[in-house]
C-alpha cells in the first residue's frame, strides 16, 4: 500500500485537466448524501460492499478514491466490480492522510494520484479487471474462515437473544394496526428502486402496512407513499420522513443507549424505543411478526449468505436468525413481483358490463334502425314487467 512517496511533488508539468470538487467522508453513506455528479469521492471504506458501490454509482462521481483497501481478502466483496462496470475510475490504498484533504477543495486525478492545488497529495492503486479478479481469487480462498466466523457469531447471538427470538420477550407494543394485514418492509438496499416499481400494483390492491427502515422511509416517499411505521437508528432518514405522520420506533442498544432518540424528540415526536442487538431491518420484521402480520414482503433486505457477508459485519448473524424466526411469513419482493397477478374484482366486472351496455344503448339511439330496436325491446320489457307484477298480485 502506498504511503505517499510523492507527497508535496509539484504537478505543474502534468497535462492540463479540468478540476473537480473533492468530497471527503469516512462514512460512504453520509458522503453520498452530498456527492454531486462530477465530484471526486474520497472515502475510507475497507471491503466496499454492493450497496455502498451502487449508491456511489448513482451519484455519478468523476472518481472514487479509497484510503483503505477496497478488498482486504476477508471475503469476495462485490463493490469494486460494480464501480469498474460503471466506468468510474477507482483507486484504493491511498492511506489515511488522504482523509485530511479539505472538503470542497478543487482537485483532479492525474495518473494514479490525487492533485490538489497543484500538488500531489496522495497516490494509490488503480483498480482494473485484472487486479479485482486477483483480489477476488485470494478472497475466495479465505471464505471458509469467514463462514466459520459467521457461524460462531450466529451461535453467540442466539445465546444472547434467545428470549427475544423464541418468545418475543422485549418486543414493544406499537399503535399501528398490523394484525391480519400484509406488511411491506423497505430497506434502501439491493435494487430497492426496481423492486418498489414492480410492486406498485400490489401496493394499490392489498394496501399493506408500509414500514420504512431508516432511509427506506424516504424511498417510500419518493414513490408517493407515506410510511405507516419508521424503524431504525435514525441516522439516514430525513426530517421530512420523520414528520410525515408515521409511527416511529427508535432502535436502541441493549444497554438502553439510543443515539437517534434525541433527534426524534427534538422534532417534537414521541417515539417507541426498541432495545436489541440485531440490525434495524431485523427488528422491523420482528415487530411485524409479533403484531400479527399475515405476510411480510421484504424490499432491499439481505436474503442470501453472500449478501450477509457483503454487509461486512458480525451483526448480520441476527439477520439470518430473524429469518428463521419469521419463517413462512417472509417473502422477497422479487418473488411477489414475479408471482403476483392483478386481481379483477366482481365490482370492477359489473362496472365494465354496465359501461359496455350503456355504450351500446347510446350507439343504437343514434341510428333509425337502432331506435326501432330499442322501441321493440322497450315494449317487450314492459310486457315482462307486467307479467312479473301479475305473479305477485
Q: Is residue 386 part of a domain?
A: no
Instruction: Examine the domain organization and report whether 171 and 62 are in the same domain.
Output: no
pLDDT at 267 over 90: yes
Local confidence band at 2 (pLDDT 50, 70, 90 cut-offs): very low
User: Are 350 and 369 members of one domain?
Assistant: yes
Same domain, 164 and 220: yes
Other CB atoms within 10 Å distance of the CB of residue 44: 18
Number of domains in the chain: 3
Q: Are residues 294 and 178 in the same domain?
A: yes
Q: Report pLDDT digits (tens) over 58-77.
A: 999 999 999 999 998 877 88
Percent of all residues in the chain with a pLDDT value above 90, rounded to a whole number: 48
- Assigned domain for 360 exists: yes
Note whether 64 and 161 are same-domain residues: no
- Residue range of the domain that includes 349: 345-375
78 is a domain residue: yes
CATH code, 209: 3.40.50
Res 10 pLDDT > 50 = no
Instruction: Say whether pLDDT at 334 is over 80.
Output: no
Contacts made by residues 154-163, CB under 8 angstroms, sequence distance 24+: 154/317, 154/320, 154/321, 156/317, 157/277, 157/278, 157/315, 157/317, 157/318, 157/321, 158/321, 160/277, 161/276, 161/277, 161/278, 161/318, 161/321
Average the pLDDT over each of 27-36, 125-134, 135-144, 372-381 and give the range with the smallest value. Answer: 372-381
Which CATH number is 119's domain given? 3.50.30.10
Domain final residue, candidates 138, 158, 187: 138
Q: Are 3 and 95 in contact (CB under 8 A)?
A: yes
Check residue 162 and give its pLDDT: 78
- More reliable by pLDDT, 169 or 20: 20
Confidence of residue 384 (pLDDT cuts 50, 70, 90): low
Which of 83-87, 135-139, 343-347, 374-378 has maximum average pLDDT?
83-87
DSSP, residue by residue, 326-383: HGGGEEEHHHHHHH--PPPPHHHHHHHHHHHHHHHHHHHHTSHHHHHHHHHHHHHHHH
Q: What is the pLDDT of residue 288?
A: 95
Q: Please give the pLDDT value at position 9.
A: 44
Q: Are residues 207 and 91 in the same domain?
A: no
| Choice between 204 and 323, residue whose per-residue pLDDT is larger | 204
Average pLDDT for 301-324: 66
Reading the block at residue 385, the C-alpha cell is 314487467
- Give the chain's count of helices (H) and strands (E): 16, 15
Task: Supply the pLDDT for residue 125.
Answer: 94
Complete DSSP assignment for 174-209: -SS--TTSEEEEEES-TTHHHHHHHTHHHHHHH-PE
DSSP 158: H
Cα separation, 351 vs 91, in Å, equals 61
- Reported as a single tens digit per residue, the pLDDT across 128-169 is 999 999 998 888 777 777 777 777 777 777 777 878 877 777
Pair 241, 323 in one domain: yes
State the residue for C-alpha cell 307479467. 387
* 115 domain-assigned: yes
Half-sphere exposure of 325 (CA within 13 A, CB side): 26
Of the ranges 277-286, 310-319, 329-338, which is most confident?
277-286
Kindly provide the b/e burial profile for residues 330-366, where b requires at least 16 CB atoms within 10 angstroms of the residue's own CB: bebbbebbeeeeeeeeeeeeeeeeeeeeeeeeeeeee
If asked whether residues 298 and 178 sit together in one domain, one would say yes
pLDDT at site 178: 96
* pLDDT at 160 (0 to 100): 78
Same domain, 208 and 97: no
Q: Does residue 243 lie in a domain region?
A: yes
Q: State residue 264's pLDDT score.
A: 96
Residues 24, 129 within the same domain: yes
pLDDT score of 346 = 65
pLDDT score of 31? 94
Cell of 100: 485530511
Q: How confident is the model at residue 207 (pLDDT cuts 50, 70, 90)?
A: very high
Both 110 and 234 in a single domain? no
Domain end among 138, 156, 179: 138
**Domain boundary pick from 321, 339, 357:** 339
Of 108, 117, 143, 153, the C-alpha closest to 15 is 108
CA distance 31 to 24: 7
pLDDT, residue 326, reads: 85
Whether residues 291 and 237 share a domain: the answer is yes
Q: Is residue 184 part of a domain?
A: yes
- Identify whether 65 is part of a domain: yes
Top-confidence residue, 182 or 317: 182
Q: Which helix (H) or strand (E) holds 391?
A: helix 368-391
Average pLDDT over the chain reads 83
pLDDT tens digit sequence for 210-226: 999 999 999 999 999 99
* Residue 3 confidence (pLDDT): 38
Q: Is 6 among the domain residues?
A: no
C-alpha cell at 74: 476477508
Please check the confidence at residue 8 and state whether its pLDDT lies above 60: no
Give the residue-averaged pLDDT of 120-132.
Answer: 94
Q: Taking the CA of residue 333 as centre, how many other CA atoms within 13 Å lie in the half-sphere pointing to its CB? A: 27
Amino acid at each position: 500500500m502506498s504511503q505517499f512517496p510523492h507527497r508535496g511533488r509539484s504537478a505543474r508539468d502534468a497535462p492540463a485537466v479540468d478540476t473537480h470538487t473533492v468530497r471527503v467522508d469516512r462514512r460512504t453513506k453520509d458522503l453520498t448524501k452530498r456527492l454531486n455528479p462530477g465530484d471526486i469521492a474520497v472515502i475510507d471504506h475497507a471491503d466496499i460492499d454492493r450497496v455502498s458501490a451502487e449508491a456511489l454509482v448513482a451519484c455519478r462521481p468523476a472518481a472514487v478514491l479509497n484510503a483503505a483497501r477496497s478488498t482486504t481478502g476477508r471475503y469476495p466483496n462485490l463493490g469494486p466490480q460494480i464501480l469498474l462496470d460503471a466506468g468510474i475510475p477507482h483507486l484504493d490504498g491511498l492511506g489515511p492522510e488522504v482523509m485530511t484533504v479539505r472538503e470542497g477543495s478543487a482537485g483532479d486525478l492525474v495518473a494514479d494520484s490525487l492533485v490538489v492545488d497543484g500538488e500531489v497529495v496522495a497516490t494509490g492503486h488503480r483498480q482494473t479487471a485484472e487486479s479485482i479478479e486477483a483480489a477476488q481469487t485470494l478472497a475466495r480462498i479465505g471464505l471458509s474462515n469467514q463462514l466459520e466466523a459467521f457461524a460462531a457469531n450466529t451461535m453467540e447471538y442466539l445465546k444472547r437473544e434467545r428470549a427475544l427470538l423464541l418468545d418475543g420477550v422485549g418486543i414493544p407494543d406499537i399503535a399501528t394496526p398490523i394484525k391480519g394485514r400484509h406488511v411491506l418492509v423497505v430497506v434502501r438496499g439491493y435494487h430497492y428502486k426496481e423492486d418498489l416499481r414492480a410492486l406498485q400494483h400490489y401496493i394499490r390492491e392489498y394496501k399493506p402496512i408500509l414500514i420504512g427502515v431508516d432511509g427506506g422511509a424516504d424511498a417510500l416517499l419518493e414513490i408517493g407513499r407515506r410510511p405507516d411505521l419508521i424503524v431504525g437508528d435514525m441516522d439516514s432518514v430525513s426530517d421530512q420522513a420523520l414528520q410525515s405522520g408515521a409511527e416511529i420506533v427508535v432502535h436502541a442498544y441493549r444497554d438502553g443507549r439510543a443515539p437517534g432518540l434525541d433527534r426524534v424528540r427534538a422534532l417534537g415526536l414521541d417515539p417507541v424505543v426498541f432495545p436489541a442487538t440485531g440490525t434495524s431491518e431485523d427488528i422491523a420484521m420482528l415487530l411485524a411478526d409479533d403484531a400479527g402480520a399475515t405476510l411480510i414482503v421484504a424490499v432491499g433486505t439481505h436474503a442470501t449468505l453472500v449478501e450477509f457477508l457483503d454487509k461486512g459485519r458480525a451483526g448480520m448473524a441476527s439477520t439470518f436468525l430473524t429469518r428463521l424466526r419469521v419463517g413462512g411469513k417472509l417473502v422477497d419482493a422479487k418473488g411477489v413481483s414475479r408471482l403476483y397477478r392483478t386481481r379483477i374484482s366482481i365490482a370492477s366486472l359489473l362496472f365494465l358490463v354496465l359501461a359496455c351496455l350503456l355504450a351500446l344503448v347510446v350507439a343504437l339511439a343514434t341510428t333509425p334502425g337502432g331506435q326501432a330496436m330499442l322501441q321493440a325491446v322497450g315494449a317487450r320489457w314492459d310486457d315482462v314487467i307486467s307479467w312479473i307484477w301479475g305473479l305477485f298480485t
